């Protein structure tokens, strides 16, 4: 599967979810996550992210390895809220720049 990592946190540009053919994206109030059971590894979302937050699981930088489990855990909790498939206003929060 592919994984959303730290650069998304507090940015949440949502360009990624629009191109996902299997609607694998979920969100909380900080960022988006990819459901590992749905992601087909098509890679369509990877070039869409302006802050390069999305990596193939085997390619996640060492410092962001924790995001692999985080994507899975958060999607389990967020599944009831439904997938995100439409572009939203970015959060542009205070942590967005720090990533
Ligand atoms: Fe996040 Fe990038 Fe998508 S900032 S919401 S992974 S386009």
| Ligand 1 pocket mutation, candidates 7, 13, 64, 85, criterion most atoms within 8 A of CB | 13
Query: Which ligand 1 atom sits nearest the alpha carbon of residue 52?
Result: 2
CATH of the domain at 83: 3.30.70.20
Indicate whether 11 pLDDT > 80: yes
Distance CA 62, CA 85 (A): 29
pLDDT tens readout for residues 52-78: 999 999 999 999 999 999 999 999 999
What residues line ligand 1, using a CB cutoff of 6 Å? 4, 8, 11-16, 31-32, 48-49, 51, 53-54
Residue 12 lies in a domain: yes
Q: What is the pTM of this model?
A: 0.96
Specify whether the CB–CB gap between 4 and 53 falls below 8 A.
yes
Q: How many domains does the chain have?
A: 1
Residue 99 lies in a domain: no
Residue 53 lies in a domain: yes
**Res 97: pLDDT:** 80
**Res 99: pLDDT:** 65
C-alpha of residue 37 to centroid of ligand 1, in Å = 19
Q: How many residues does the chain have?
A: 99
Give the domain range for residue 73: 2-89
pLDDT tens readout for residues 40-55: 999 999 999 999 999 9
Residue 95 lies in a domain: no
Per-residue HEC secondary structure of 39-96 comes to CCCCCCCHHHCCCCCEEEHHHCCHHHCHHHHHHHHHHHHHHHHCCCCCCCCCCCCCCH
Residue 98 lies in a domain: no
């Amino acid at each position: 599967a592919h994984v959303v990592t730290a650069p998304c946190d507090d940015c949440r540009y949502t360009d990624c979810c629009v191109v996902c053919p299997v609607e694998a994206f979920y969100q909380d109030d900080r960022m988006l996550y990819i459901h590992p059971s749905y992601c087909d590894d098509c890679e369509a979302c990877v070039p869409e992210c302006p802050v390069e937050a999305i990596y193939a699981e085997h390619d996640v930088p060492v410092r962001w390895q924790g995001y692999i489990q985080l994507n899975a855990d958060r999607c389990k909790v967020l599944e009831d809220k439904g997938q995100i498939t439409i572009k939203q206003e970015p959060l542009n929060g205070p942590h967005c720049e720090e990533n």
